[in-house]
Amino acid sequence: MFDWISAHKDILQTLASVGSFLIWLIYAQLLYFGFRRQRRPRLIINRGKRKNLDALCVISNMSAEPIYLQHIMMTLETSKGDWTLDVSDHEADLEDDHSDQERTPDGRCTHQGPLDSGGFVHIGSFNALKQRIIDIAGLDDKEGMKDDLVLKAMCVRVIGTYCSENLPIGAERRFVFHQTDDSCTLVPETWDTLQFSTRRQRRELKRDIKRIHERQAQGEGEEPEREQGD
pLDDT tens sequence across 155-197: 999 999 998 778 999 999 999 999 877 788 899 999 999 999 8
* Measured CA distances, 220 to 76, 88, 92, 130, 223 (Å): 18, 15, 21, 19, 5
Phi-psi region of 138 (alpha: psi -120 to 50; beta: other; left: phi over 0): left
**Number of C-beta neighbours around residue 162 at 10 A:** 23
Residue 41, SS3 per DSSP = coil
User: What pLDDT, on a 0 to 100 scale, did the predictor assign at position 173?
Assistant: 97
Interatomic CA distance for residues 230 and 227, integer angstroms = 10
User: How much is the average pLDDT of 36-41?
Assistant: 73
Q: Measure CA 179 to chain center.
A: 25
pLDDT band of 202, cuts 50, 70, 90: very high
* 160 neighbors 97 (Cβ within 8 angstroms): no
pLDDT of amino acid 143: 52
What is the C-alpha separation between 206 and 212, in angstroms, rounded? 10
Mean pLDDT of the chain: 82
Top pLDDT among 11 and 60 is at: 60
Note the pLDDT of residue 94: 38
Look at the chain and count its residues: 230
Give the pLDDT mean for 18-23: 88
Contacts of 136 (CB under 8 A, 6+ apart): 85, 222, 223, 224
Residues 54 and 16: their CA atoms lie apart, in Å, by: 64
Residue 54 confidence (pLDDT) above 60: yes
Q: How far apart are CA 73 and CA 83, in angstroms?
A: 10
- Give me the DSSP letters along 118-180: T-EEEEEEHHHHHHHHHHHHTTTTSTTTTTT--EEEEEEEEEEEETT-SS-EEEEEEEEEEE-
List pLDDT tens digits, range 118-150: 999 999 999 999 999 988 887 765 555 556 778
Kindly report the pTM of this predicted structure. 0.76
pLDDT at 98: 44
10 Å Cβ neighbour count for 196?
21
Tens digit of each residue's pLDDT (9 = 90 or more) over 65-124:
999 999 999 999 988 889 999 998 865 543 444 444 555 555 567 889 999 999 999 999
The Cα 67–Cα 135 span in angstroms is 31
Distance CA 130, CA 110 (A): 18
